[in-house]
Amino acid sequence: MSSATVQPAPRRRARGKPATPAAATIAAPVAAPVTAPKPALPAAATAGTPARVLRRFRQVFTAVRSHFQKVEKQVGIGGAQVWALGVIAEQPGLAVGSLARAMHIHQSTASNLVRGLVERGLVQTERGAADRRTVYLRLQPAGTELLARAPAPHAGVLLQALRELDPATLAQLEADLARLLQQMGVPEDAPAVPIG
């Protein structure tokens, strides 16, 4: 009597599930994205940068000084005094404290500027009726005539250029200069005497 060989029945897979090799069930590790390092600036380029920036500062202050020398030669008074005259002309009757705030200087510096203008007969002062300590300022005719002869801009070329910068550039410049002053050890409340 011969015996028949019985083959095992093939395993049926569930519907909708493709057969997956056992090795594929183990998740392969995901490699982190590789970012290329930023190319470093050549040493020669960075070494010369401070000197080039310093040269830019010198160019700025040379331009400012040249403008104020031209002003003084033409009208006989300094650029800061011409700026003060311009502020008073725009705001007749303003107080000395308001002049100081408009020029971003200390009140004692503004008082010294005004004293020189009064002595030259360019500005007249008037004590406040309610508070005699408050001094109000107006141009004398001689001050108006001198201001008409003074080269523009009366506030100086640097302030005029800063006013014409776009807000984002101006804000970045202010932040960068604040950092530079901090690096130099200059305190936030350090004196700021007007140029010219």
Tens digit of pLDDT for each residue in 109-158? 999 999 999 999 999 999 877 777 788 999 999 999 999 999 989 999 99
> Is residue 99 within 8 Å of residue 139, measured between CB atoms?
no
pLDDT at 193: 76
The CA distance from 39 to 178, in Å, is 28
The CA distance from 123 to 50, in Å, is 44
CB-CB neighbours of 141 under 10 Å: 9
Average model confidence (pLDDT) for the chain?
83
pLDDT at 82: 95
Whether pLDDT at 2 is above 50: no
Q: Give me the half-sphere count of Cα atoms (radius 13 Å) on the Cβ side of residue 134.
A: 11
Amino acid (one-letter) located at 195: I
pLDDT at 148: 94
Confidence of residue 102 (pLDDT cuts 50, 70, 90): very high
Confidence of residue 45 (pLDDT cuts 50, 70, 90): low
Whether pLDDT at 24 is above 50: no
- Tell me which H or E stretch contains 135: strand 135-139
